[in-house]
Structure 1
Amino acid sequence: MEKNMGTTDRVIRVILAIIVVALYFTNIITGTVGITLMALAGIFLITGFISFCPLYTPFGLNTCSKK
């Protein structure tokens, strides 16, 4: 797996995941929407930590800075 996510992309994903988790545990989002958003937050955390997004590959996206 070659990294295809830049630092800004990773930080945004982790921040969004933290916000969703906080909203879920404060019961602002609940039910099916809450569970779906929690699953998405988990995916955001995983992809943010490993710096690889599988959906970027078929579209040829890469947010890593070119060095």
Structure 2
Amino acid sequence: MAIQKNVGALDRAARLVVAAVIAALYFAGSVSGTTAAILGIVAVVFVLTSVVRWCPLYRLLGLRTCGR
């Protein structure tokens, strides 16, 4: 059974931009400690959901940002 994609192109781009901003903040030294760890997890999740085009939270909420 294949996973049905639920993340559209604009959503993917936005997630990747947010992940890049988080990475830039981290490498610039603007965030550290627990905040950096939490934001790092968020960034990894955003990148992964962008790559596979599937978001488990969207599935739970019944959302789709891509065409059918």
What residue ranges of structure 1 are gaps of 5+ in the alignment? none
Alignment match, 1:24 = 26
Q: Find 1:11's aligned residue among 10, 13, 22.
A: 13
Residue 34 of structure 1 aligns to a residue in which SS? helix
What residue ranges of structure 2 are gaps of 5+ in the alignment? none
| Per-residue deviation, residues 5-56 of structure 1 (Å, max 9, x unmatched) | 1100000000100110110011001110011101110000000111000001
4+ runs deviating over 2 angstroms: none
Cα RMSD (Å) of the superposition? 0.8
Structure 2 Cα separation of the partners of residues 11 and 30 of structure 1: 25
Structure 2 Cα separation of the partners of residues 21 and 55 of structure 1: 23
Structure 1 Cα separation of the partners of residues 60 and 43 of structure 2: 22
Q: Percent identity?
A: 38
Structure 2 Cα separation of the partners of residues 46 and 36 of structure 1: 16
Q: Find 1:65's aligned residue among 35, 48, 67.
A: 67
Structure 2 Cα separation of the partners of residues 40 and 53 of structure 1: 13
Alignment match, 2:46 = 44
Structure 1 Cα separation of the partners of residues 13 and 48 of structure 2: 12
TM-score (norm 1): 0.93
